[in-house]
Amino acid sequence: MRRRRKYDFYIALFLTVFTVGYFVYNHMSGESRGIEKYSAALEAYKASDYEKAYEEFGAVPSSSSLKSPALFRQARCATNMDKKELAIKKYNRIVNSKAKSSIAPISEYNMANLMFEIKDKRAKRHFKRIIKKYPTSDYAVASQYYLGLIEVLNPPKTEKWLIKSKNRALIYFKKYLEEAPDGRFALKAIDEIKKLNLPLTNYDNLLIAKSYYANGEYLKARDYLFKTTLVESWSDFAKNEYRLGNKEKANYYAEMGLKDHAANTANKDVYEVIDNYVASFPTRKEGITKLNNLGLKSTGADYAAYLNCNEVVASDFKEACYRTLYEKYPNGQFSADSLYNLFITKYLQKKYYDAQRLGFLHLKKFPNVNSSPAVTYYMGKIAFKLKHYESANDYYKQVVAKYPDSYYAYRANFNMYKDDGLFPFLELNVKPVVFPYKKSLDNNLVVKLAHLKDYDLVSELCKNDKFIQSWIAYQKKNYTMSAVLARNGMEEMEIKPSFEDLRWRLVYPTHYYDIVDKVKGDNNPIILQAIIKEESHFNPYAKSAVGASGLMQLMPATYNEVVKKHNLPADFNAETANITAGSLYYSGLKRMLGNKDLYTIAAYNGGIGSVTNWFSKLIYNDIDEFVEQIPYPETKNYVKKVLRSYWVYGNVY
């Protein structure tokens, strides 16, 4: 009996192991075959051989995680072959699948679109379901437009129900314009609203005007603005007239609105009008003076005062200006920056206890604003000057930990480890840009599609992920767009990842570093790389308003002078020539400035004459005090941006 039980046990164990093994093998085999078939199908799809692609996608096993995207691609193939009913069936399989994936929303949206095209009444139900299931998605926004069209294209026969249908259509079109004033259907939605021939409210006309404005149709926007009241629309009138080039009329609306109606207008609209107003004058200073003479009392008064304080040169007057601004608007949008300016003024005056008191207040009241890294860093310097060395290091560590990609992290690191020198990084260990996530996204589906180079589907599934969009732009060799998208994505992150994170390579790519390293001469190549990033964002065709061009943004006269002086070869390509000339120009500036890179970076932007003039006019004891007192805001920010890029490049590579 015991032998029988033992025998049964081994039989059961064998069957279990066999079943599990078979399942694992079948799954792994299915996954392997799925990748093979999907890859071959994608090549056929890209070659526009949709019949072959359809068959190949159909051969992806059901056990593969690529089955849903294969069905999606089959639907696309069927659509391209004008087999809409077949495409609908494929999309429907994804939508009704128990294994939900991120492909479901776009599949249902595409299916509803095809149903709409073939006049299938089920389209309405699916568009409504999309709005309910995915309310914050772009598909939900677009569904509003299609629901409006369905009401228009299927009018009831009786007058009573026709009016109700028209009103429903108007509501759908308005919802679309509210969500996407510059969307791909915006102008079509406006045309449909006109065809409804319904009476429009002041709000309706303003909504249409805003949409025309967002789409660059400024004359049409003006027509609809005239159908609104100035109390609600003054800022839109002003912005629209600026776009039309009518500065006098724009300034009339701006002055009238800022004085009488700003209190009921959104801050961002008021600030945009103010920026346009100031820019309309021959000089910025003249515009700010005129703005402050308006005697603003409500929204915008704080911004006008803030702009005025930024223009003040004399230290004593500047301090008084920021103090008045902070005391008058202690919780306003510019209070953090005003308090920071008071803080840094006291620091530069060597009134360290006063500065420390203001620093404590700033860090408590504004724990994470643009000026927080600077305040934290200088609190460390103050602690050091007061011989609180442990506290100083704590502040420096906070800067490096909380704001690792900031200029002040670079400075804090230097103060903690001065043995490494001001510029510790001498060369880059170039690493390739790869897909920005190691960990799985949607159960590895997006990662797999990325490795299979299905960029279009990855882009569609990850519309709102700037790093993935950046990576796709990089794969398509649109390096400037890639760098800008990644930069914006990183700026939006409150907590920054470690420098080992793959996303940093997209923000700080090594385009043209091979050229930089060859023509660097006696320069630090990482500084040149940082200059290229900040000057042109890797666009070899970049051209500034004043005529500077190329990767290193050289003025034509400067470029020609360097080429002639150094007898550069004529067979250089544009990128090599520009970087070579930029490197030589930088070397020349550096020799004239005692081989000091920090001063050279300032001179590259502000001119060597300005920098040598600052040596005699500014009172400073160290590099920090020099940088903070650079009179040109653009040059001061430029120095900080280049040194920040140098710091991050060194850490990432």
Q: What is the CATH number of the domain that holds 640?
A: 1.10.530.10
48 and 108 within one domain: yes
Look at residue 276 and tell me if it is in a domain. no
Reported as a single tens digit per residue, the pLDDT across 376-429 is 999 999 999 999 999 999 999 999 999 999 999 999 999 999 877 899 999 999
549 and 497 within one domain: no
Q: Are 525 and 637 in contact (CB under 8 A)?
A: no
| Alpha-helical segments (H) within 100-158 | 104-117, 122-133, 138-153
Q: What is the DSSP letter of 419?
A: G
Residue 540 has pLDDT above 60, yes or no: yes
619 and 524 within one domain: yes
Percent of the chain residues past pLDDT 90, beyond the cut: 86
Q: Helix count (H) and strand count (E) of the chain?
A: 35, 0
Average of per-residue pLDDT across 317-346: 94
Q: Which of 507, 525, 544 is the last residue of a domain?
A: 507
482 and 353 within one domain: no
142 and 214 within one domain: yes
Amino acid at 206: L
Look at residue 348 and tell me if it is in a domain. yes
Look at residue 245 and tell me if it is in a domain. no
Look at residue 577 and tell me if it is in a domain. yes
Q: Which residue has the tokens 């228009």?
A: 152
Q: Which of 484, 507, 530 is the last residue of a domain?
A: 507
Q: Are 126 and 112 in contact (CB under 8 A)?
A: yes
Average of per-residue pLDDT across 137-147: 97
489 and 545 within one domain: no
Q: What is the CATH number of the domain that holds 341?
A: 1.25.40.10
519 and 491 within one domain: no
Amino acid at 38: Y
Domain tally for the chain? 4
Q: Which of 220, 240, 262 is the last residue of a domain?
A: 220
Look at residue 532 and tell me if it is in a domain. yes
Torsion angle of the four alpha carbons 548, 554, 558, 559, in this order, in degrees rounded to the nearest 10: -110
How far apart, in Å, do the first and last CA atoms of the chain sit?
70
534 and 496 within one domain: no
Reported as a single tens digit per residue, the pLDDT across 562-604 is 999 998 887 777 899 999 999 999 999 999 999 999 999 999 9
φ, ψ of residue 549 to 5 degrees: the values are: -140, 165
518 and 502 within one domain: no
Reported as a single tens digit per residue, the pLDDT across 94-113 is 999 887 778 999 999 999 99
The reported pLDDT for the residue numbered 13 is 53
Look at residue 226 and tell me if it is in a domain. no
336 and 394 within one domain: yes
Residue 617 has pLDDT above 70, yes or no: yes
540 and 622 within one domain: yes
Q: For the purposes of burial, counting CB atoms within 10 Å of the CB of 424, is it exposed (0-12), middle (13-18) or buried (19 or more)?
A: middle
Average of per-residue pLDDT across 158-172: 91
529 and 389 within one domain: no
Look at residue 119 and tell me if it is in a domain. yes
- Structural domain boundaries enclosing 397: 312-421
Torsion angle of the four alpha carbons 551, 556, 560, 562, in this order, in degrees rounded to the nearest 10: -50
Look at residue 125 and tell me if it is in a domain. yes
